[in-house]
Amino acid sequence: MGKTKNDLILRAARGESVERTPVWVMRQAGRVLAPYREVRQKAGSFIQLVKNPELAAEVTIQPVDILGVDAAILFSDILVIPEAMGLPYTMDEGRGPWFEHTIRSANDMNRLTNGSVVEHLQYVTDAVRLIRRELDGRVPLIGFAGAPWTIFCYMVEGRGSKTFSLSRAMLQRDPKLAHALLSRIADATIAYLKAQVEAGAQMLQLFDSWAGILNHDVYQMFIMPYMQKICDAMRDTVPMTVFAKGAFFALQDLGALSCHTIGLDWHTSADWARSQVGPNKTLQGNLDPAVLYGSTDQIKLATRKMLQEFGPQRHIANLGHGVYPDIEADHLKCFIDTVKEYQYQ
């Protein structure tokens, strides 16, 4: 597909020398950009937008054109995996995702399909190919998936939750069933990520959005084996980032994974993260998204402070979570421009 002109993020992930810190933003293709809202309206719904390769490609590339980020990230949704496994979902504008059927018992596991998830997700791989063609080597394309625990939570609860108590209860009451479901999710995720790479994804990110609701022992026992299985399976493909929000307690474990980059939320300092994961991992993050509500002077000050703390190498600048939908696009661009213009002392 040709050489990538701006490969800063790939080199930073691999620990190679970079001229400046690369920057991208989680949820950069989203409501913060007016052109995205226009495409979303044309699609009819979020799910219809996800399933339309041409429109998904269009919104994936928008932040590259508008914001000047150093990578595009595939516009999709982590919940395409449970849907491909046999649990379709709807997206309620006010309440988020909702699953009519859930996995609460061994019998419920029979709802899951034994077919190939990749066949069900051709619209994603079609979008990846189209994006790579349209990007024409300007910046790399990041593919992604939800981590097994986060997907497990939605498949068990059927919706978002503050506590995910049904999911946590299953770990305690029926660990055999929990491991069986986590294993099925991990296998599906590996197949899905490999298909994204085959289609042209040049980097991957594994999102464990609900990692922080578990304690260290439970995360080690139930979740880390499946994170390791996925990272090991993808080891020889493209650089992989693991972002486990709230899992500061597991940084040493995450640092031992065969991935290239550890994503950090805004609660975790650069020094602490480096002391936990060691010198051989790239760190990604971790400006508090709420900083972008401040003035441009405040944004520049906080961004420069973050860059100084992480240093010029083995760092990919990002927010500590996805950009909030009511952030002004100009403030987001101020963050990105500040990173790109920064000169280390």
| Residues carrying an active site annotation | 27, 31, 40, 77, 154
Which residues are registered as beta bridge partners of 243?
207, 263
> With b meaning 16 or more CB within 10 Å and e meaning fewer, what string describes 284-313?
bbbbbbebbeeebeebbebbbebbeebebe
Q: Pick left, alpha or beta for residue 246 (phi over 0 → left; psi -120 to 50 → alpha; otherwise beta).
A: left
Q: Which of 174, 136, 131, 139 is nearest to 156 (CA)?
A: 174
Half-sphere exposure of residue 76: CA atoms within 13 angstroms, side-chain side: 30
Backbone angles phi, psi at 155, to 5 degrees: -70, -30
Q: Which of 202, 84, 80, 78 is nearest to 143 (CA)?
A: 202
Listing DSSP states for 33-69 in one string gives SHHHHHHHHHHSSHHHHHT-HHHHHHHHHHHHHHT--
Name 42's Cβ contacts closer than 8 Å, sequence gap at least 6.
55
Asked if 316 and 261 touch (Cβ cutoff 8 Å), the reply is yes
